[in-house]
Structure 1
Amino acid sequence: MTGFLILILAVLMGMTVLTLVRGIAAFLQGTREDLERDGSTGPSEIQLKQNKLMFQRILYQGAAILVVALVLFARK
Structure 2
Amino acid sequence: MTTLLIIVLVVLCALVVISLVRGIVAFLKTTKLDLESGETQQNTEMQLLQNKMMFARIKYQALAVLVVAIILAVGGRG
Relative to the length of structure 2, the TM-score reads: 0.85
**Residue deviations 1:14-61 (CA, integer Å, cap 9, x gap):** 00001101111111011132354377x8x7111011000000000000
The answer (yes or no) to whether the contact 2:5–2:71 under 8 Å persists in 1 is: yes
Matching residue of 1:31: 31
- Secondary structure of the corresponding residue to residue 45 of structure 1: helix
**Greater helix percent: which structure?**
2
Q: Which runs of 5+ in 2 are unaligned?
A: none
Letter in 2 for 1:58: I
- Secondary structure of the corresponding residue to residue 37 of structure 1: coil
Letter in 1 for 2:11: V
Name the structure, 1 or 2, with higher relative contact order (CA <8 Å, separation 6+).
1
Matching residue of 2:2: 2
Relative to the length of structure 1, the TM-score reads: 0.87
